[in-house]
C-alpha cells in the first residue's frame, strides 16, 4: 500500500505511535535518507506491515521498484495482540537496538545493520534482509544450508565471549549488566520455559493425542528438581549478553548466509542458554522431520543433516571460543585449563536449556511451525513424544555429558531418539 491509501490502526492509541503509513515513511526518510538517496528523492514510497505482529509493529518501507528498502520496527508498552492488560516495558526496544549493535560489532555479516534507534518513538530502523527466508520455512523445505552450523557457532562464540568477564574490564562488565536488565522479557521466558510446561497451566497448548504424556511429565518430581536448578542459573548467572530468544523464527537464511534478528529478549545470563536454544531448534526440526510427509529416505537424510548441523555448531563455537580466550587480558582466566573448564560448564548448561526448549515447544504455549505442519494429531504426537523424551534425557544426564569432547556421545543420544 502507499501513503495515499493508509489506514488507521485499530490498536489503542499512544502519543508516539505511528499514525499512518505517511508517518512511517516520514520517519524512514528522516533517518536513512543519507544512506539511501532514493528515499530522499522518490516521490512515493510504499509501506507494508510484515512479521507475525504478536508484540511489535514491523514495517517494510521501500521504493515502488523495491530497489531500496528498510525495516521499521516500533514497540508498544504492552503485548500488541493482547493490549493493555499485558504491559511490557519499552526498555526492551532500547535493549534490542543496543544488542543488535553489539552483535553487529562482533559479527557484522550475521545480523542486519542497525541504521537508527529513536528512543522517543520506541522505534528502530534497520537493514532489510528480505532476500533471506525464515529458517523455519527453510527447514520445512528441507533446504541444504551447508554453512549454517559454522556460522551460528561463530555468532555464539563472538557475542558470548566478547560480553564475558574474559573480554571486559570488571567495571565495564558490571555497568553493562545493569544497562541490560530486562525484567519483563525475562519474566516471559521464566514462565514459558521453567513453569508452564511442567504443570497443568491454562497457557499450555497440548495436542489431545499427547495429553497422557504431558500429565506424566507434570508428575515427574526428579525432572522438576533439575529444571529448578536450571531456572536458578538463568536468574542469577550474568555470564554474557544473550540474544535471549534464539529459535529458528529469529534466524533468516540463504544457502550460504545467515542473519540473526530480534534480540529484544537480550540480557546478561548464562551463556549456555543461547547455545542450548539454538541446538534445540535443530533437534526440534529433526523430531518433526521424522513424521513430516515425504519419502522415508529423504526424511532420514534430512534428519541426519540437522544432527550434523548441531555437531558443527558446537565444534565451531568451541573452536572460536578457545581462540578468543587465548587472548584474554585477565591473568586468572589465562591460566591453562580455564577455557576448557568454562566450555564444559557452558555445554552442561546448554544441554539442560535445550531440554527445556524441546519440552516447552511441545506442551507449552508457543509451538513451532515444523511440528504444527503435521496435520494428523496422532502422527504429530509421535514426533512430539520424541521431543519430550529427548528433552527430558538431556536435562537429566547433562552432568555426565559435559566433557567438551562428548559431542559425539550427545549426537548418539539424539540419534537414538530420532531412530
The one-digit pLDDT tens for each residue of the chain (419 residues) are: 333 333 333 445 588 999 999 999 999 999 997 888 888 877 889 999 997 667 899 999 999 999 999 999 999 998 887 788 888 999 999 999 999 999 999 999 999 999 999 999 999 999 999 999 999 999 999 999 999 999 999 999 999 999 999 999 999 999 999 999 999 999 999 999 999 999 999 999 999 999 999 999 999 999 999 999 999 999 999 999 999 999 999 999 999 999 999 999 999 999 999 999 999 999 999 999 999 999 999 999 999 999 999 999 999 999 999 999 999 999 999 999 999 999 999 999 999 999 999 999 999 999 999 999 999 999 999 999 999 999 999 999 999 987 767 899 999 999 999 99
Among 142, 128, 97, which residue's Cα sits nearest to residue 302? Answer: 142
CA–CA dist 115, 17 (Å, integer): 19
174 Cα distance to chain centroid = 24
Q: According to the model, what pLDDT value does residue 42 have?
A: 75
Residue reference for cell 516447552: 360
CA–CA dist 337, 353 (Å, integer): 25
297 Cα distance to chain centroid = 30
Handedness of CA 48, 50, 53, 55 (dihedral sign): negative
Q: According to the model, what pLDDT value does residue 52 have?
A: 62
CA–CA dist 349, 271 (Å, integer): 8
Q: What does the block give as the cell for 195?
A: 513453569
pTM: 0.95
Residue reference for cell 528480505: 130
Q: According to the model, what pLDDT value does residue 9 have?
A: 38
Angle at 342 between CA 336 and CA 344, to 5 degrees: 110
Q: What's phi and psi for 366, nearest 5 deg?
A: -100, 105
Q: What does the block give as the cell for 327?
A: 587472548
CA–CA dist 110, 102 (Å, integer): 12
CA–CA dist 287, 169 (Å, integer): 42
Q: According to the model, what pLDDT value does residue 53 have?
A: 61
Q: How far is CA 118 from CA 13, 28, 114, 294, in A?
A: 19, 11, 11, 47
CA–CA dist 20, 3 (Å, integer): 8
CA–CA dist 414, 362 (Å, integer): 17
Amino acid at each position: 500500500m502507499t501513503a495515499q491509501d493508509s489506514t488507521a490502526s485499530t490498536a489503542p492509541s499512544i502519543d508516539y505511535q505511528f499514525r499512518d503509513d505517511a508517518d512511517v515513511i516520514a520517519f524512514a526518510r528522516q533517518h536513512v535518507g543519507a544512506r539511501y538517496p532514493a528515499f530522499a528523492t522518490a516521490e512515493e514510497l510504499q509501506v507494508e506491515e510484515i512479521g507475525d505482529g504478536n508484540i511489535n509493529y514491523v514495517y517494510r518501507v521501500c521504493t515502488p521498484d523495491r530497489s531500496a528498502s528498510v525495516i521499521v520496527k516500533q514497540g508498544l508498552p504492552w503485548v500488541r495482540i493482547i493490549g493493555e492488560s499485558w504491559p511490557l516495558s519499552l526498555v526492551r526496544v532500547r535493549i534490542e537496538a543496543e544488542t543488535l549493535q553489539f552483535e553487529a560489532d562482533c559479527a557484522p555479516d550475521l545480523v542486519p545493520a542497525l541504521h537508527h534507534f529513536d528512543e522517543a518513538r520506541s522505534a528502530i530502523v534497520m537493514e532489510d534482509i528480505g532476500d533471506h527466508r525464515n529458517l523455519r520455512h527453510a527447514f520445512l523445505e528441507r533446504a541444504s544450508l551447508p554453512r549454517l552450523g559454522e556460522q551460528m557457532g561463530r555468532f555464539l562464540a563472538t557475542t558470548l565471549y566478547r560480553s564475558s568477564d574474559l573480554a571486559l574490564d570488571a567495571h565495564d562488565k558490571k555497568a553493562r549488566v545493569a544497562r541490560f536488565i530486562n525484567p519483563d522479557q525475562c519474566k516471559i521466558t521464566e514462565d514459558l520455559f521453567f513453569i508452564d510446561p511442567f504443570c497443568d497451566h491454562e497457557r499450555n497448548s497440548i495436542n489431545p493425542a499427547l495429553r497422557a504424556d504431558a500429565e506424566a511429565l507434570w508428575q515427574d518430581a526428579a525432572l522438576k528438581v533439575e529444571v529448578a536448578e536450571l531456572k536458578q542459573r538463568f536468574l542469577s548467572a550474568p555470564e554474557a549478553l544473550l540474544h535471549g530468544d534464539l529459535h529458528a523464527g529469529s534466524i533468516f537464511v540463504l544457502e550460504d548466509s545467515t542473519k540473526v534478528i530480534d534480540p529484544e529478549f537480550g540480557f546478561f545470563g548464562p551463556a549456555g542458554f543461547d547455545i542450548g536454544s539454538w541446538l534445540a531448534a535443530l533437534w526440534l526440526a529433526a523430531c518433526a522431520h521424522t513424521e513430516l510427509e515425504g519419502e522415508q529416505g529423504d526424511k532420514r537424510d534430512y534428519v541426519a543433516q540437522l544432527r550434523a548441523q548441531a555437531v558443527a555448531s558446537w565444534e565451531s563455537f568451541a573452536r572460536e571460543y578457545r581462540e578468543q580466550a587465548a587472548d584474554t587480558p585477565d591473568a586468572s582466566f589465562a591460566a591453562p585449563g580455564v577455557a576448557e573448564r568454562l566450555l564444559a560448564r557452558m555445554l552442561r548448561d546448554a544441554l539442560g536449556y535445550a531440554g527445556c526448549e524441546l519440552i516447552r515447544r511441545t506442551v507449552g504455549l508457543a509451538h513451532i511451525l515444523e511440528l504444527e505442519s503435521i496435520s494428523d494429531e496422532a502422527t504429530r504426537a509421535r514426533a512430539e513424544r520424541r521431543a519430550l523424551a529427548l528433552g527430558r534425557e538431556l536435562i537429566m544426564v547433562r552432568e555426565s555429558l559435559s566433557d567438551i569432547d562428548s559431542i559425539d556421545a550427545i549426537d548418539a543420544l539424539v540419534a537414538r531418539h530420532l531412530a
